[in-house]
Structure 1
Amino acid sequence: MDTERHPSPRQTLAILSRGDAAACRDTTAQNSRFVRVFEALAALGIDAHPVIYDESFADAVRDQLLAADGVLVWVDPIHQGKTRAELDPLLRDVAAQGPWVSAHPDVILKMGVKEVLYRTRHLGWGADTHRYDSAAAFRAEFPSRLRAHGPRVLKQNRGNGGQGVWKVEALPHTNETVRVLHAQRGSRPEDIRFDELVARCEPYFGWGGCIIDQAFQPRLPDGMIRCYMSGARVAGFGHQVIKALIPPPPEGPDAPEAQPGPRIMHGPDAPPFQALRRSMEDEWTPQMMETLGIDELSLPVIWDADFLYGPPDAAGADTYVLCEINASSCFAIPEEAPAAIARTVTHRLLRSQEARSG
């Protein structure tokens, strides 16, 4: 007999993603990119349906979300020039009126932005990290840090896909010019005046409020490990050889050698990542929650922490440096993740139902 408690059949879940009017008209659970998530939710008795968001029909989206008991959100911070500037207030309003929302915009502003790298720099995943709150502070403080500590990586506070992420290197015999490489695919190194770098970065203060500055990690060519989390538990891993912030070969950024490798997905029990799993579940996630003031029920149903390899420790074991947390739109995901999402959703809906009825 199945003794697991399930939400009432009357409860519904909206899965929100960005799209145009055609996507709004044509998207179904069966043809959605989240089809495996829909299937896992249905297997636990949760009635989920897709909702497509665009600013041009935001009022209709609001009505659909208010009719649901819960909302899962998959919308990037920046997509084809559009931001979440209008969506986030809508989601706050929906959550205030009753439906449970994951990830809530206020939680994203704590953990799903680059500032988390600065606020949690004291944890085991931390590195040499600084924050600039204005263009004036950046102009005054960054050059000496670059000279003293070697290559740096600048990151706008809110972004995705490498947008607003720059590797910066000092050049010999000059303080006026620096070498920069944007993390977006197809970029080439450029030698530009420092004033030009300041001008490129200045808009980031308006959108995200700050710029984060981390030491460049020399083991970047060894790849990035993406640790997928559902709530406070690991749901899987992905390992990928990345090419962002690595100068392209002489053939140029479009050459095959300049392209990132495939992300190889692994389940949560994959042997190579068990030390990282223990650190995430037993130490770093609880410590992050305490530092940021986030309770476990507010953690996103699906999020990921991206790690680069740090220097080996005294015993020769790998260390890991956090380079980003994705909490706005974590996809693609390992094949084990939809079931983990469904389990977490079941628990959250029950708790939300109990809170409303209590």
Structure 2
Amino acid sequence: MDTEQHSSSRNIVAILSRGDADARGVATPQNSRFVRVFEALAAVGIEARPVIYDESVADAVRDQLLSVDGVLVWVDPIHQGKTRAELDGLLRDVAAQGPWISAHPDVILKMGVKEVLYRTRHLGWGTDTHRYDSAAAFRSEFPSRLVASGPRVVKQNRGNGGQGIWKVERLSDADGIVRVLHAQRGSLPEDMPLDAFIARCEPYFNWGGCIIDQAYQARLPDGMIRCYMSGAKVAGFGHQLIKALIPPPKGPEAPEAQPGPRIMHGPDAPAFQPLRRSMENEWTPRMMETLGIDEGSLPVIWDADFLYGPRDAAGRDTYVLCEINASSCFAIPDEAPAAIAQTVKHRLIRTHRSSAST
């Protein structure tokens, strides 16, 4: 094999997403929702191939992934009742045979689950946060915490789209009754016995292994800031006025509450520079240290979702982490595809150097 052929064969990545047999048959970079990522990778000399995953074609997908140097994965934790359990096993098997995976399932289990909120609560993005490792612990400890500290937000460990995230508050005029609101779009508040709500949450331990409980943030109506990261560097921001966990308008004829548009910004947006400095210089390095993740294992695209916390003594905003998305971070700012391409290029160079030295 001559040098040119060797170089070309070692700069190929797969972009993996979920779909059905029809999607597999027609998938091209041009008709993919990730078309801008394909274009950015091509611009730095990297060939990217679309790979569509479904459990029914796992063997064929494995063969495709073993033929490339790296894999960029965009698959939600839960999609139409399907989880990533089988896919994660496949990805671990592929990674063990050579190709690097972003994000590796083991990295997702460290940073892309709600447990990260508990493990990193000592960082500047933390708040009053608790973890329940069993249904018995949740039943025993949560009621007194709700009484002592006011409204709480209960979160299943793995999920997306607001699934398994609940605002819970006591009703002062009804003993043992709570008002709960699911974060999924279209949800309405429900009043129910606290015991019934706890029983509703018990299945979350089967898939996620634990439940996380945070203090409700009073500034939720001010919106959520999504900080997009490529590796350890900020790739952009998104600000959105959200409706999740905010009671919808009252009345049978009231329209369903809709979130506002997510306004995207580049990494240099002036309003978000304090958050950028905290993420790049303090929080991300300390998160990596706490979780045992090296920079080269960070996802090529991930995001940290922040709510506004209480203002400090000088009137400046503070930020509270409410979620990290590492499984399927999309849509992304206009500047992010180029950042992804540069991160992928650096990963490939590192992989080639490692291979050459062995």
How much does 1:172 deviate? 1.4
How much does 1:176 deviate? 2.2
Structure 1 residue identity aligned to 2:318: T
How much does 1:254 deviate? 7.0
User: Could you give the per-residue CA deviations for residues 317-338 of structure 1, whole angstroms, max 9, x where no partner exists?
Assistant: 0000000000000000000000
How much does 1:236 deviate? 0.1
Q: Does 1:311 align with 2:310?
A: yes
User: For the residues of structure 1 that align with 2:267 and 2:236, how far apart are their CA atoms?
Assistant: 4
State whether residues 228 and 234 of structure 1, in contact with CA within 8 Å, keep that contact through their aligned partners in structure 2.
Answer: yes
User: Could you give the per-residue CA deviations for residues 110-141 of structure 1, whole angstroms, max 9, x where no partner exists?
Assistant: 00000000000000000000000111111110
User: For the residues of structure 2 that align with 1:72 and 1:197, how far apart are their CA atoms?
Assistant: 38
User: For the residues of structure 2 that align with 1:251 and 1:352, how far apart are their CA atoms?
Assistant: 59
Q: Does 1:160 align with 2:160?
A: yes
Look up the match of 2:21.
21
State whether residues 156 and 164 of structure 1, in contact with CA within 8 Å, keep that contact through their aligned partners in structure 2.
Answer: yes
Look up the match of 2:39.
39
How much does 1:49 deviate? 0.7
Deviating above 4 A after TM superposition, structure 1's stretches of 4 or more consecutive aligned residues are: 251-254
Look up the match of 1:263.
262
Look up the match of 1:219.
219
Equivalent positions of 1:1-358 (< 5 A) are: 8-11=7-10, 12-251=12-251, 255=255, 258-358=257-357
User: Could you give the per-residue CA deviations for residues 43-75 of structure 1, whole angstroms, max 9, x where no partner exists?
Assistant: 000010100000000000000000011000000
2:314 match: secondary structure = coil
State whether residues 185 and 253 of structure 1, in contact with CA within 8 Å, keep that contact through their aligned partners in structure 2.
Answer: no
2:213 match: secondary structure = strand
- C-alpha RMSD of matched pairs (Å): 1.2
User: Could you give the per-residue CA deviations for residues 15-58 of structure 1, whole angstroms, max 9, x where no partner exists?
Assistant: 00000000000110001000000000000000101000000000
Look up the match of 2:3.
none
Look up the match of 1:4.
none
Mark the runs of 5 or more structure 2 residues left unpaired by the alignment: 1-5
Identity %: 80
State whether residues 186 and 254 of structure 1, in contact with CA within 8 Å, keep that contact through their aligned partners in structure 2.
Answer: no
User: For the residues of structure 2 that align with 1:86 and 1:144, how far apart are their CA atoms?
Assistant: 38
Structure 2 residue identity aligned to 1:176: G
User: For the residues of structure 2 that align with 1:150 and 1:43, how far apart are their CA atoms?
Assistant: 52
| Structure 2 CA distance for partners of 1:180 and 1:345, relative to 1, 3 Å | same
User: For the residues of structure 1 that align with 2:191 and 2:244, how far apart are their CA atoms?
Assistant: 18
Q: Provide TM-score, normalisation by structure 2.
A: 0.96
Mark the runs of 5 or more structure 1 residues left unpaired by the alignment: 1-6
User: For the residues of structure 1 that align with 2:210 and 2:283, how far apart are their CA atoms?
Assistant: 24
| Structure 2 CA distance for partners of 1:254 and 1:268, relative to 1, 3 Å | farther
How much does 1:8 deviate? 2.5
Structure 1 residue identity aligned to 2:41: L
User: Could you give the per-residue CA deviations for residues 75-132 of structure 1, whole angstroms, max 9, x where no partner exists?
Assistant: 0000010000100010000000000110000000000000000000000000000000
State whether residues 13 and 48 of structure 1, in contact with CA within 8 Å, keep that contact through their aligned partners in structure 2.
Answer: yes
User: For the residues of structure 1 that align with 2:74 and 2:225, how far apart are their CA atoms?
Assistant: 21
User: For the residues of structure 1 that align with 2:355 and 2:170, how far apart are their CA atoms?
Assistant: 57
Structure 2 residue identity aligned to 1:110: K
How much does 1:233 deviate? 0.1
State whether residues 236 and 268 of structure 1, in contact with CA within 8 Å, keep that contact through their aligned partners in structure 2.
Answer: yes
